[in-house]
């Protein structure tokens, strides 16, 4: 057993430089590769997160602008519809006024025509009444001499 311990002691003593070399490599790896690599990854992650946050902010800003644009578009459409309705009301009012004026003009012409017809009818009646006596005497003369001549 003593011999095994001596062999192991020789192996451990021979392994010490290897262990020291391994520890130096691990420390060198930590300082030369792992440290800068971790720092670069942290920086990259921070930049990526910053870019993602900036993208989210840009998206929110774009959505806000789109909502503002939609609101302005709705407002413009409402204004256009209001203006259109006002024009339609104005045109309707103008049309109604023109129709009323035409009705009044037509009513005045009809009244004037009725008055003229009534006047002409009255003149005709007066003329007929004035000539009734003359016509009656002509009829009587025409009928009586014929009746008187036929009985002779």
Instruction: Kindly list the domain boundaries of the chain, sorted by start residue.
Output: 1-118
Q: Which residue matches tokens 């309707």?
A: 92
Contacts 24+ apart (CB under 8 A), 110-118: none
Q: What is the pLDDT of residue 149?
A: 55
Output the pLDDT for position 147.
58
**Nearest Cα residue to 93 out of 101, 105, 109, 104:** 101
Q: What is the pLDDT along the chain (152 residues), one digit of tens a residue?
A: 888 888 888 888 888 899 999 999 999 999 999 999 999 999 999 999 989 999 999 999 999 999 999 999 999 999 999 999 999 999 999 999 999 999 999 999 999 999 999 999 999 988 888 888 888 888 888 887 665 555 54
pLDDT at 152: 46
pLDDT at 101: 95
Helices (H), the chain: 2-28, 35-151
């Amino acid at each position: 057993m003593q011999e095994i311990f001596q062999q192991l002691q020789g192996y451990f003593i021979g392994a010490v430089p290897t262990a020291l070399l391994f520890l130096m490599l691990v420390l060198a790896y930590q300082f030369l590769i792992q440290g800068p690599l971790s720092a670069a990854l942290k920086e990259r992650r921070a930049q990526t997160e910053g870019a993602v946050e900036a993208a989210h902010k840009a998206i929110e800003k774009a959505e806000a602008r789109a909502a503002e644009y939609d609101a302005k578009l709705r407002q413009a459409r409402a204004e256009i519809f209001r203006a259109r309705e006002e024009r339609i009301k104005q045109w309707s009012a103008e049309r109604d006024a023109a129709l009323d004026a035409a009705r009044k003009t037509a009513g005045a012409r009809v009244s004037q025509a009725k008055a003229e017809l009534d006047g002409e009818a009255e003149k005709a009646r007066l003329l007929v009444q004035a000539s009734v006596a003359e016509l009656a005497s002509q009829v009587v003369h025409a009928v009586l001499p014929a009746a008187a001549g036929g009985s002779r």
